[in-house]
Amino acid sequence: MSQPIDPFYAIGVSRIAHEMKAKGASIIHMEFGQPSTSAPRAAIAEAHRVLDVDPMGYWESAPLKDRIARLYAERDGVEVAPEQILLTCGASAGLVAALAGGFSPGARIAIARPGYVAYRNALKALNLTPVEIDTGPDDHFRWTPRLLEGLDPTPDGVIIASPANPTGAIIPPDELRAMAADCHAKGVQILSDEIYHGLSYGAEVRSMLAFAPDAMVINSFSKYFSMAPWRLGWLVAPLAKAAHFRDYVANLFLTAPSLSQHAALKAMDCTEELEGHLTVYARNRALMLEAMPRLGVSQIAPPDGAFYIYADMSAYTTDSLQLCLDMVRETGVAAAPGVDFDPVNGKRFVRFSFAVSTPEVEDAIRRLSQWLPSRRLPRVSL
């Protein structure tokens, strides 16, 4: 019998937003980490071409795996053999395959809180035990070597994300190195979620493979490559265990979508177009950071990467889910409640995605600046 899992509350907010939009309401979708841009033009053109000439089928693209391996060599200076790369139906499938194939039932897996909602729930669904470690302002809302070294008893595994969701926090390379060394010494298996690689605003981002060659790594075409609806990701498995993880991927998910694989190979060489998206995100980030103090939000997690503002909304609510429900219904701005990412402290936090257009960010700021003052909670005298 699997463990019960919590809802993904942002999906409920999004459902309301789409129902409102269908009735003619103006909606700004900031609830999901989903680029508002489409796949690169060359990728779309390739998909049209392939649809006309290739019936496709169950397939794993050797050229795409070679190209991903080259990405690690060029970007991270890391040698990854193509046979280590397993193409998956999005990073979510890679996460499930890595957890199912990498750990025995009951294994204790440490995760940071706040953290991506699916870590906790996927662990529970697979009869693994999440060990949630609080992070906050003192830790810059991210894993640190101090937090990892302090775990007692030692967990069987750890999920590390840099840049992280929902915070955008990036772990510096020297700290990644220290964490990798500590895990190696204690026999802790690392699973590194690198889905937001390519999306950073000055801070250095390194793959955990540079410090822990035996780490499991998941990544995706959804974020930097702007291909979320194409449902294509990959898992880098340790070379000695690649066949083992391939069996899990094949039996659980067969193969990744063939059409997406054709398109993704082209997307990987669309650097100029993709870096243009990053320029837009940087502008949106700057607008949000400038606006937050005016909106009465004094504390946010450091958005070093990804495309999120994880904001402390305690001046306005003690129930982030209700605030998000009211916000979308009354302003048309959809956002994700912090309880998705942190069931303990998330009631006062809201995550805003700025992976939308700049005019939408400007409009969202305008709407919130008009609406939030009426929501301010009375100050409590001590």
* pLDDT tens-digit series, residues 325-382: 999 999 999 999 999 999 999 999 999 999 999 999 999 999 999 999 988 888 644 4
| Longest Cα–Cα distance in the chain | 73
Band of pLDDT at residue 95, cut at 50, 70 and 90: very high
Per-residue pLDDT, averaged over 60-64, amounts to: 96
Residue 378 has a pLDDT of: 80
pLDDT tens-place string over residues 252-290:
999 999 999 999 999 999 999 999 999 999 999 999 999
Write the single-letter amino acid at 149. Answer: E
Per-residue pLDDT, averaged over 56-85, amounts to: 95
On the question of a common fold for 9-38+272-372 and 42-268, the answer reads no
- Percent of the chain surpassing pLDDT 90: 86
Place domain 9-38+272-372 in its CATH homologous superfamily. Answer: Aspartate Aminotransferase, domain 1 (3.90.1150.10)
CA-atom Rg of the chain in angstroms: 21
CA 365 from centroid of its chain's CA atoms:
24
| Out of 2-11, 77-86, 134-143, 349-358, least confident range | 2-11
Residue 382 has a pLDDT of: 45
Domain ranges of the chain: 9-38+272-372, 42-268
Judge residue 214's burial from the number of C-beta atoms within 10 Å of its C-beta, 0-12 exposed, 13-18 middle, 19 or more buried.
Answer: middle
Q: What is the mean pLDDT of the chain?
A: 94
CATH topology of domain 42-268: Aspartate Aminotransferase; domain 2 (3.40.640)
CA 242 from centroid of its chain's CA atoms:
24
How far lies 20's CA from each of 14, 328, 370, in Å?
Answer: 10, 9, 20
Per-residue pLDDT, averaged over 13-26, amounts to: 96
| Out of 88-97, 116-125, 295-304, 328-337, least confident range | 295-304
Give the whole-angstrom CA distance, residue 23 versus residue 25: 6
